Amino acid sequence: MTPSSALPAHGSSRPSSLDLGGRTALVTGAAGGIGRACVLRLAAAGAKVRAVDRDGAGLEALTEAARTLAGAVEPHILDLTDLDAAELAAAGTDILVNNAGLQLVRPIEEFPPDVFHTVLTVMLEAPFRLIRGALPHMYGQGWGRIVNVSSVHGLRASAFKSAYVAAKHGLEGLSKTAALEGAPHGVTSNCVNPAYVRTPLVEKQLADQARAHGIPEERVLSEVLLQDSAVKRLIEPEEVAEAVAYLCGPQASFVTGTSLVLDGGWTAH
234 and 202 Cβ atoms separated by less than 8 Å: yes
Backbone angles phi, psi at 107, to 5 degrees: -60, 155
Q: Rounded to the nearest 10 degrees, how much is the dihedral formed by the CA atoms of 28, 47, 16, 233? A: 0
Q: Counting every residue, how long is the chain?
A: 269
Closest alpha carbon to 123 in 16, 28, 7: 28
Residue 11: the pLDDT is 42
Residue 199: the pLDDT is 81
Residues of the chain with pLDDT under 50: 1-15
Q: What is this structure's pTM?
A: 0.89
Residue 4: the pLDDT is 37
Residue 12: the pLDDT is 42
State the Cα–Cα distance between residues 102 and 117, nearest whole angstrom. Answer: 12
Helices 237-248 and 33-44, packing angle to 10 deg: 50
DSSP string, 114-178: HHHHHHHIIIIIHHHHHHHHHHHHHHHHT-EEEEEE--GGGTS--TT-HHHHHHHHHHHHHHHHH
Q: How far apart are the first and last CA of the chain?
A: 28
Helices 113-120 and 162-182, packing angle to 10 deg: 20
Residue 110: the pLDDT is 97
Top-tier CATH class for 20-195+234-254: alpha beta
Residue 162: the pLDDT is 98
Residue 214 buriedness (CB in 10 A; 0-12 / 13-18 / 19+): exposed
State the Cα–Cα distance between residues 74 and 17, nearest whole angstrom. Answer: 23
Q: Which residues are catalytic?
A: 164
Residue 148 buriedness (CB in 10 A; 0-12 / 13-18 / 19+): buried
Residue 150: the pLDDT is 98
> Which amino acid makes up residue 93?
T
State the Cα–Cα distance between residues 118 and 125, nearest whole angstrom. Answer: 10
Quick: pLDDT tens for 9-42: 444 444 458 999 999 999 999 999 999 999 999 9
Residue 83: the pLDDT is 98
Closest alpha carbon to 98 in 138, 125, 71, 61: 125
